[in-house]
Structure 1
Amino acid sequence: MAAGALGALVAALESYRGRDRVVRALCYGCQLAGGALAGTQSPAEGLPGSLLAVSAQLSSCRTVLRLLDDFAMLSHSRAYGLGPKIPENPVPVKEEAEAAEAHSSFTTESTENTSPSEG
């Protein structure tokens, strides 16, 4: 059972979204525990202060992870490129447009000749 939980944690940490979720949960957990233990103390000291400091560090960690995600997206965008290349010879495109126009005029003419009022 412990091996299954460890495997699930490893699987979660292997993806960006999984890492962000784990770090976010730890961050909010430390913040909640630190705030609850500090109570009405304005400068949290000892364990509550340490938990709040860890929460702040984890929040900074999430910021850095989000910034590094931009580099991964930049690399992905560079690999993807700007899309399909425009053909150098535009004649086939022109012919396709003319064929589509001719087809639409044929269907328009055929529907105009058969009206329900004729009979």
Structure 2
Amino acid sequence: MAWVWLFLGGVSEVVWAYGLKASEGFTKPAVSVITIIFMIISFYLFAKSMQIIPIGTGYAIFTGLGAAGTVIAGVFLFEETMGPMKVIFLLLLFVGIIGLKVTTKEGQEVSGEEE
């Protein structure tokens, strides 16, 4: 379940990152409130996942999902460009996220030793 919390936290991070842009510096009250709610949700889910997933792996995946998702949202929602080099580096980011996931066992202590 910790991996689900981590994934949903990363997705929530994309929502609040988008909200930061859409709120225009918190000048739009409704969008600002939604953004803050998703910030809280995002960090709550991240904190829940950290009860089981090692912090280094969890934080890297959390921020990686947020970064990758925000790049993709920027392309589709804000008409940002997606050139070949951006695609390559985005794919590298996904490879890193997947690699960290498949090489991490749930229940590892923060020190990296198994229980």
> TM-score, with normalisation over the residues of structure 1?
0.37
Higher RCO (Cα < 8 Å, 6 or more apart): 2
Between Structure 1 and Structure 2, whose CA radius of gyration is higher?
A: 1
> TM-score, with normalisation over the residues of structure 2?
0.38
